[in-house]
Amino acid sequence: MNPRIFTLVLLAMLCGLAVSGLNGVTREKIRDNQEQFSLLQIKQVVQDDRAVLEQVDEHRFLIKDELGENGMVFRVTTLSGYNGEIILWVATDGEGKIRGVRVIEHSETPGIGDLIERPVSDWIDQFSGVSAENSWDDDVDYVSGATITTRAVARAVQEGLAQ
Amino acid sequence: MSEYSQIAGEGLWRNNPALVQLLGLCPLLAVSNSFVTALGLGLVTLGVLTTSNIIISLIRNLLHDVIRLPIQIMVIATSVTLADMALQAWYFELHQRIGLFVALIVTNCTLLGRAESFASRNPIVMSAVDGFMMGTGFLWVLLLLGTVREVFGMGTLFNNLHLLLGPAFENVTLHFADSGFLLLVLPPGAFLSLGCLIALKNYISGDQY
């Protein structure tokens, strides 16, 4: 074999070994991190530390507390935002009222559309206590300058509730 | 010794990768919207650049013309992947913010530029110093841009520093104003502030173009 190709192949194998070696060390840690992160976000939405979450499928959890089944947490995604996907977790109680909503991923304009994110503004808290029966046009406070973003979030929550 | 101070001067000022060579602009412009992301990506770039320079210099005798470029790219891609996995495992929250750009370090031409023009021709220690100085040159420009854009764009400084340095730094955020000149945080602000910085650099060194 041409010695240069041999060198190239040998170095490629070394690089591959290094990558798979570190992958072996970090794989479980990374998976743990990701699971903990999504669980932490779901807990924030439920706003009840004693509640137990029972997974239904990838996007839905049942909330169980001492009284038994008490609402559920589900994930909704919308594309009607200003820029790309907005992913939300919505938690409801047994009567169909919203416990809480959290945006977990979005790429709205920083400084304008990011008010849907909890640390940035408490806009998202207004959904707590709202149910599908409320009039969504009157009761939700849309924000001028970020109309598209806030409307997309509200509509996604409303449609998620309806399901 | 003067050789090393020559290398340091090249990396930090005279031939600064961000201000003079204008390499690695994609990550530079993208993450310089706040101090923390700038610091995070700057440090990762610094580490990867030094590592790849050392490795390339170690194997420089094997780098025949025909296989030189693929090997250099492979070494760079490997060190970036390793850094990416390490970040995901030990600095997960920071990775959530800058993860997208860590992968982009592979395309940061500073790395290939230094591998090609310096590390493949010079001994290990000198290559390491060159990588470190070039990386530091990139880091300080990134930090300065990050500071300017965060202070004037958002009215804060050191926001979210605890993501990088641990919970002890939870409350070090400085607030100057409630809101800022938003344009600076958005992509155009990156071009504007980098342009001003380059102009300032040229003014100070008295370059005429």
User: In this predicted structure, what is the pLDDT of residue B56?
Assistant: 92
Please answer whether residues B15 and B7 qualify as being in contact, where contact means their C-beta atoms are separated by less than 8 angstroms. Answer: no
- pLDDT for A11-66, tens place per residue? 999 999 999 999 999 999 988 888 888 777 777 777 766 777 777 777 788 877 77
Tokens in use for A64? 């169980």
Chain A residues in contact with B153 (beta carbon < 8 A): 111
**Based on C-alpha coordinates, what's the Rg of chain B?**
18
Report which of residues A151 and B103 the model is more confident about: A151
Amino acid letter, residue B47: G
Chain B residues in contact with A9 (beta carbon < 8 A): none
Instruction: Measure A112 CA to nearest chain B CA, in Å.
Output: 9
Instruction: Measure A131 CA to nearest chain B CA, in Å.
Output: 33
Measured distance CA(B66)–CA(A93) in Å, rounded: 66
Tell whether B92 is within 8 A of chain A (Cβ).
Answer: yes
Instruction: Measure A8 CA to nearest chain B CA, in Å.
Output: 7
Interface probe, candidates B55, B82, B96, B120, chain A, greatest A C-beta count within 10 A: B82
The rounded Cα B67 to chain-centroid distance in angstroms is: 27
Residue A109: DSSP 8-state: P
Domain range annotation of chain B: 2-141+149-205
Tell whether B71 is within 8 A of chain A (Cβ).
Answer: yes
Neighbouring CB atoms inside 10 A of B92's CB total 18
Measured distance CA(A159)–CA(A11) in Å, rounded: 54
Residue in B59, B67, B78 nearest the CB of A19: B78
Q: Please state the rounded mean pLDDT for residues B68-80.
A: 91
**Cβ <8 Å between A26 and B89:** yes
- pLDDT for A66-96, tens place per residue? 777 778 888 888 998 888 888 888 888 878 7
Cβ contacts of residue A151 below 8 Å, gap of 6+? Answer: A80, A142
- pLDDT for B4-27, tens place per residue? 888 888 888 888 888 888 888 888
- pLDDT for B121-179, tens place per residue? 889 999 999 999 999 999 999 999 999 998 888 888 887 777 777 777 777 778 887 77
pLDDT of A139 above 80: no
User: In this predicted structure, what is the pLDDT of residue A12?
Assistant: 92
User: In this predicted structure, what is the pLDDT of residue A1?
Assistant: 63
Nearest to B11 by CA among B149, B113, B121, B79: B113
Cβ contacts of residue A44 below 8 Å, gap of 6+? Answer: A100, A102, A118
Phi first, then psi, for residue B91 (nearest 5°) are -130, 60
Instruction: Measure B147 CA to nearest chain A CA, in Å.
Output: 17
- pLDDT for A58-74, tens place per residue? 778 887 777 777 788 88
User: CA nearest A119 in B: which residue?
Assistant: B160
Half-sphere exposure of B73 (CA within 13 A, CB side): 6
Amino acid letter, residue B122: N
Q: Please state the rounded mean pLDDT for residues B44-64.
A: 90
Residue in B85, B179, B185 nearest the CB of A22: B85
Long-range contacts at B56-64 (CB < 8 A, ≥ 24 apart)? B56/B115, B56/B119, B56/B120, B56/B127, B57/B119, B57/B120, B57/B122, B57/B123, B57/B124, B57/B126, B57/B127, B57/B128, B58/B124, B59/A11, B60/B119, B60/B120, B60/B121, B60/B122, B62/A7, B62/A11, B63/B120, B64/A4, B64/A7
Measured distance CA(B41)–CA(B84) in Å, rounded: 11
User: In this predicted structure, what is the pLDDT of residue A74?
Assistant: 86
Long-range contacts at A132-136 (CB < 8 A, ≥ 24 apart)? A132/A96, A132/A158, A132/A161, A132/A162
Tell whether B88 is within 8 A of chain A (Cβ).
Answer: yes
Measured distance CA(B57)–CA(B122) in Å, rounded: 7
Amino acid letter, residue A156: A
pLDDT of A105 above 60: yes
Chain B residues in contact with A4 (beta carbon < 8 A): 64, 66-67
**Cβ <8 Å between B92 and A37:** yes
